[in-house]
Amino acid sequence: MTTVILLVLKASIISTVFAIGLKATLTDATFLFRRPGHCLRALLSMHVLMPLVALAIAAPFDLQPAVKIALVVLSVSPTPPILPKKALKAGGAEAYTIGLLVTTAALSIMVIPLSMKVFERVTGVPLAMRAGAVTSLVFATVLTPLLAGIVVRRLTPAGADRMSGRISVAATVLLMTAAVPIMIGLAGTLVSVMTAGTLLSLTVFALAGLLVGHLLGGPESDNRPVLALATASRHPAVALAIAHGNFPNQSLVAPEVALYLILGGVLSSLYLSWSARKRHGGAEAARRVARGVTEGKVDTMAREAAMASVTSKRNGGE
């Protein structure tokens, strides 16, 4: 039964990314590679600062080993495959969103093994993650279905538009079908790991991700929520693969990662609500300024016309 559930979950992820690819282009996929500034800010946010945050939370405090492991493996994992769906709904720019997914997935093949070596030197704990294992996961769940969708769109744009909505709905149904039994199975364990220290540490990590991503999102307001979500949300399959490969006897890491996904989802929703209100307020203020400028110009023109009329009458009278 567990095997079937995992297959359904994997199918939902692949279908979601394929549906995203059906609406994307190769130009979107390579967006960050062609903009080094955007790419460097994303890497700094996700793969430099967040591992430091994980160490700052895990090292000095007496947390359960599973919590510390969860923080570390989450901090080095790439963007989750379902990020573009949430980011695009939040108003994120499509090219930046797709480009961020592709860039972090591709670079994670090199970044994750390197990060494991750095963590090993800092903590003294033997850590490793083979590039081949990362490559397999990244290609299976992100790059292959996304590029397949892009190719289909290139060959038949009209057909891609028709398919994308249906496949997206089917992917959501598959995700719910798999998620419900998984959450039911983890319910008892989730309750047992919900200590004050665990909840506080995971919440701080998620909030730090949202803040760091928002600040490093660049001057474009549409990009900030996308990088904030990407920095706070990570690929759970990659995180669990790293954890299992290094700590196979730590059975509580999976519930900790699941708990983080729940907390991160709630905090991300609150952040997106705040971001939407802020953007709406800024747009409204800009409209008021533009309206004021327009009205000012009209008043000025009216006064000039009135003065011209008075001058004309005076000249006529003379």
DSSP letters for 276-290: HHHHHHHHHHHHHHH
Per-residue pLDDT at 3: 75
Per-residue pLDDT at 303: 65
Looking at residue 219, the DSSP 8-state letter turns out to be S
Determine, yes or no, domain membership for 265.
yes
Per-residue pLDDT at 205: 96
Per-residue pLDDT at 297: 59
For the chain, which residues score pLDDT lower than 70? 1-2, 281-318
Determine, yes or no, domain membership for 160.
yes
Residue 127: left if φ>0, alpha if ψ -120 to 50, beta else—which one?
A: beta
Per-residue pLDDT at 96: 92
pLDDT digits (tens, 9 = 90+) for 228-240: 999 999 888 888 8
Determine, yes or no, domain membership for 128.
yes
Between CA 314 and CA 318, with CA 317 as vertex, the angle to 5 degrees is: 90
Between CA 22 and CA 167 the distance in angstroms is: 10
Model's pTM, two decimal places? Answer: 0.81
Structural domain span for residue 166:
2-293
Determine, yes or no, domain membership for 17.
yes
Determine, yes or no, domain membership for 301.
no
Between CA 180 and CA 173 the distance in angstroms is: 11
Number of domains making up the chain: 1
Between CA 116 and CA 205 the distance in angstroms is: 19
Per-residue pLDDT at 222: 86
Alpha-helix residue ranges (DSSP H) falling in the chain: 2-21, 26-29, 36-43, 50-58, 65-76, 83-89, 94-123, 131-138, 144-155, 157-193, 196-215, 223-232, 236-246, 253-317
Give Cβ neighbours of residue 269 (< 8 Å, ≥ 6 apart). none
Determine, yes or no, domain membership for 166.
yes
Dig out the tokens for 276 from the structure. 């939407």
Q: Hey, is 128 helix, strand or coil?
A: coil
pLDDT digits (tens, 9 = 90+) for 105-123: 899 888 888 888 888 888 8
Determine, yes or no, domain membership for 256.
yes
Determine, yes or no, domain membership for 315.
no
Per-residue pLDDT at 5: 76
Per-residue pLDDT at 155: 94
Between CA 230 and CA 271 the distance in angstroms is: 13
CATH number at residue 102: 1.20.1530.20
Per-residue pLDDT at 133: 83
Per-residue pLDDT at 35: 93
Between CA 196 and CA 177 the distance in angstroms is: 31
